[in-house]
């Protein structure tokens, strides 16, 4: 990866977000574990290293430590949050166990504009930490501070080492992208030449080497992720790829038919349509715990894929449209687990097929760029994210045929009104949730005892953070009236006003 920048991962939720921000600057970036041997990192010929944040205190038992040899490679280094603290300890500085945190938007004071703060309007940043650097290592100049972080930024231009306590990769640090650009183009001397085309070419080459002369099947859902994954693999191995669409009965209104129609029109590979609604309903009967739902659905998906693979000679590989947001929420070696995604943490341990995941390092918006590069139609590229477990994780409680039908109808009304209002492309996701509870209402002068429907709509760039969408009241009123009037079994509509964090986008 000549000219690229590696992100050394200390378990941060945002490690891949850093890599994504770097790629947005048209510089290739990839994530490597914090304990990758220095000789392996050096063999990749990186132009720079970024040390990520992390969830642990540097003083916590078993906290990931920085190998000091990484700082002797002669490569520019930028430490972010935990990364700055780990670099400080490795170089003989001090990190204070403050016991008090610094979170969210924070005023910052720049002491020097000789280096990375040159010409940057740095007045506010985004913090998320408890410990803080109290004394910079020898040879470093403190270039910024906040009320709780005496070393909010430090620099050693002679050794081309830099550190910041705040997070430049998040949008809440207004000058963050400019600071990263300074590191890439001034400290690392990178060139902005990387594009999505490079990713396609790299994945095609890797997949050809992985699959050899064997065959593969692709778990197709109809969304942009699995469609892009299928096109990349098809470009690599041609007709040795067969797509399998498992209709688990947990999809939205008419989606099964839409997937078949779209696939037949835009793809040149065979499609096997497995109708498995009753199978999944039986498997989910009596299950109410969210993690158990996800793992049950993940297991049953794999078992069906394995059966279909058995029907094809030498089909030893399963293609999935797994994204980085799926991976990080499901938990990695150092990152905290938020929830198991059916295609990551929900996979059974005794799988007999080998995974191919060409999008595992990407966020949704990056996948859309690749999809446009591959010529996917607009309605597929810009389809709102829909979880693999489908409506099962939008029913809070046991999944039954009755509840699925109610939720499917309510969600159809919501989607129709969102599109009619011209808001579909503005929202990251909009959907209905059905809690398995009932409340008293009055309709037609009679008492009712029926389900509520919760409307969930968020805006986001990458699904790592999200804000609740400010949908105009008249549109919300129209959605509520239609759901109550048109969907039997519903007598109340509520609106979810929670951002991520503290909530997740999906309810389960």
Contacts by residues 409-414 (CB-CB < 8 Å, ≥ 24 positions apart): 409/253, 409/486, 409/487, 410/434, 410/453, 410/483, 410/487, 410/490, 411/252, 411/253, 412/252, 412/253, 413/479, 413/482, 413/483, 413/486, 413/487, 414/455, 414/479, 414/483
Our answer to whether residue 188 is catalytic in this structure is: no
Nearest to 19 by CA among 27, 175, 199, 333: 27
Q: Is 373 a catalytic residue?
A: no
Q: Hey, what are 508's tokens?
A: 């389960």
Q: For the residues of 286-306, what is the DSSP string, one character each?
A: T---HHHHHHHHHHHHHHHHH
Catalytic residue, chosen from 34, 167, 248, 341, is 167
The residue annotated as part of the active site, out of 81, 125, 190, 218, is 81
Residue 125 annotated in active site: no
Taking 3-state DSSP, the helix, strand and coil percentages for the chain, each rounded to the nearest 5, stand at 35, 25, 45
- Residue 189's alpha-carbon distances to 73, 83, 506, in angstroms, are 16, 21, 41
Alpha-carbon distance 134 to 58, whole Å? 13
Listed residue (42, 46, 4, 2) closest to 23, CA to CA = 4
CA distance 270 to 241: 8
Catalytic residue among 169, 255, 300, 506: 169
Active-site positions read 81, 167, 169
């Amino acid at each position: 990866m000549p000219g690229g920048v590696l992100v050394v991962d200390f378990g941060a939720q945002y490690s891949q977000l850093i890599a994504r921000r770097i790629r947005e600057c048209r510089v290739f970036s990839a994530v490597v574990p914090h304990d990758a041997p220095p000789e392996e990192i050096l063999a990749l010929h990186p132009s720079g290293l970024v040390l990520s944040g992390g969830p642990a205190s540097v003083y916590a038992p078993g906290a990931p430590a920085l190998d000091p040899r990484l700082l002797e490679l002669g490569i520019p280094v930028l430490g972010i949050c935990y990364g700055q603290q780990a670099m400080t300890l490795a170089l003989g500085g001090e990190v204070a166990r403050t016991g008090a945190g610094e979170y969210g938007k924070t005023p910052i004071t720049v002491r020097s504009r000789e280096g990375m703060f040159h010409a940057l309007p740095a007045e506010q940043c985004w913090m998320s930490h408890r410990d803080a650097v109290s004394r910079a290592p020898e040879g470093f100049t403190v270039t910024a501070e906040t009320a709780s972080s005496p070393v909010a930024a430090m620099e050693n231009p002679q050794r081309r080492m830099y550190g910041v306590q705040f997070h430049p990769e998040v949008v809440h640090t207004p000058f963050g992208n400019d600071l990263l650009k300074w590191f890439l183009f001034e400290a690392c001397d990178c060139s902005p030449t990387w594009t999505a085309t490079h990713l396609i070419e790299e994945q095609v080459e890797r997949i050809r080497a992985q699959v050899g002369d064997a065959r593969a099947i692709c778990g197709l859902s109809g969304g942009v992720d699995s469609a892009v994954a299928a096109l990349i693999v098809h470009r690599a191995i041609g007709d040795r790829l067969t797509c399998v669409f498992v209709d688990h009965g947990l999809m939205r209104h008419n989606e099964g038919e839409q997937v078949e129609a779209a696939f037949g029109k835009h793809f040149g590979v065979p499609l096997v349509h497995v109708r498995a609604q009753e199978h999944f309903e039986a498997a989910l009967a009596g299950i109410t715990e969210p993690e158990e739902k996800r793992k049950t659905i993940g297991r049953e998906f794999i078992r069906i894929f394995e059966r279909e693979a058995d029907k094809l000679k030498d089909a030893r590989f399963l293609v999935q449209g797994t994204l980085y947001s799926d991976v990080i929420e499901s938990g990695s070696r150092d990152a905290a687990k938020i929830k198991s995604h059916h295609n990551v943490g929900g996979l059974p341990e005794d799988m007999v097929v080998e995974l191919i995941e060409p999008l595992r390092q990407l966020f949704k918006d990056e996948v859309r760029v690749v999809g446009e590069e591959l010529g996917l139609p607009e309605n597929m590229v810009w389809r709102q994210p829909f979880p693999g477990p489908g409506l099962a994780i939008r029913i809070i409680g046991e999944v039954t045929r009755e509840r699925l039908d109610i939720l499917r109808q309510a969600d159809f009304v919501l989607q129709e009104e969102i599109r009619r209002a011209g808001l579909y492309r503005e929202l990251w996701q909009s959907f209905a949730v059905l809690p398995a509870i009932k409340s008293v209402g009055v309709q037609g002068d009679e008492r009712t005892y029926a389900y509520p429907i919760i409307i969930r709509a968020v805006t986001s760039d990458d699904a790592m953070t999200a804000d609740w969408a400010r949908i105009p009241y008249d549109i919300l009123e129209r959605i509520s009236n239609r759901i109550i009037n048109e969907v039997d079994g519903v007598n109340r509509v509520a609106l979810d006003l929670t951002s991520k964090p503290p909530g997740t986008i999906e309810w389960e």
